[in-house]
Amino acid sequence: MDDIVLLRDVTEADLEVLFEQEHDPEAVRRSRFAPREREAFMHHWKTRILGDPTVFVQAVMVGGELAGNLVAWWEGDRRFIGYWFGRAFWGRGIGTRALGLFLDKEPARPLYADPFHGNTASVRLLERHDFERAGTVRHGDDEHVLLVLHPSRARRTDETSGNRRTAHAYVDSAERRDWEAFAALLAEDVVYEMPQTRERIRGKRPFLRFNMEYPGDWHLKVRRIVADGRHAAAWLDTRVGDEQQDACVWFEFSDEGLISRVTDFWPEPYEPPAGREHLVERW
């Protein structure tokens, strides 16, 4: 499914949903965090989170629903982050995308987190964003893993998150036929290839024209996007009329963060239709 993840400021109107999410029994078991009673929860959020200018908190929105929250706060001279997601949003890659967006907004480095050692999904989530293990800490009777995102890792994390957002924007602007926004994502010397038809297009202008002139009532929807350094890969649900196909797109990025190469992979080889020979080369 298409899970578009957005962040926004938390408001007091969100607190009832966040309270219910904190009291989910399975989430409590995995996190080893004792949920607060309603009065204590509301007081904590209104005074120590929303009322503290040093705390940075964001609501995670998915399809208009409040999926959870991410928060950064100071403990002495260390800046920590934490997060909580509703169970309905687990296992869909939402945490990964939301944390990437949050790290783009939260500038402090080093940045710490200390999930319960048995919460392996949370530990893996942080390690995917370049947090490194730095020992263990105890909270009551429980052992927690201490992880840290070092300043030296920040550039790679920012670059990867930026490339992920650019790949999403590429699909979104094409689906909306917003060709000005689409063109702004491309390097002037972008190269586009389709191995199944052995076609190649060189340069922003012909590639933009290729997309603008592409025939049929076509639509694109993101299933999943992954990124690493200067690369990203997208798994798409593509539709032309009533025909649906899965497709994969490989992106490469320039030093400036623009898309420098796009490779489209389709399920079956086919001969290209006539009428675009002036834009492509074959091999």
Q: Is the pLDDT of residue 153 over 50?
A: yes
The partner residues of 239 in beta bridges, in order of sequence, read 219, 244
Average confidence (pLDDT) over 238-258: 88
What pLDDT sits at residue 257? 79
Tell me how far the alpha carbon of residue 187 is from its chain's centroid.
22
State the Cα–Cα distance between residues 171 and 236, nearest whole angstrom.
9
CA dist., res. 11 & res. 176, Å (int): 30
Residue 280 and residue 267 in contact, taking contact as beta carbons nearer than 8 Å: no
Q: Which pLDDT belongs to residue 109?
A: 92
pLDDT of the residue at 258: 87
Distance from C-alpha of 25 to C-alpha of 79, rounded to nearest angstrom: 28
Closest CA to 261 of 171, 191, 185: 191
* Confidence category of residue 154, pLDDT binned at 50, 70, 90: low
Query: For 93, left (φ over 0), alpha (ψ -120 to 50), or beta?
Result: left
Amino acid identity of 12? E
55 has pLDDT over 90: yes
Work out the end-to-end distance of the chain between its first and last CA atoms, rounded to an integer number of angstroms: 36
**Which residue matches tokens 């400021």?**
9
pLDDT of residue 252: 94
What pLDDT score does 261 carry? 96
Taking Cα atoms as reference points, which of 98, 40, 36, 41 lies closest to residue 67? 98
Summarised one tens digit per residue, pLDDT across range 185-200 is 899 999 999 998 899 9
Q: 186: exposed, middle or buried (C-beta count within 10 Å: 0-12, 13-18, 19+)? A: buried
How far is residue 111's CA from residue 4's CA, in Å, rounded to a whole number? Answer: 26
For residues 62 and 67, what is the distance between their CA atoms, to the nearest angstrom? 6
- What pLDDT does residue 45 have? 97
Query: Is residue 1 pLDDT above 50, yes or no?
Result: no
What is the residue-averaged pLDDT of the chain? 90
C-alpha triplet 222, 227, 230: angle, nearest 5°: 130
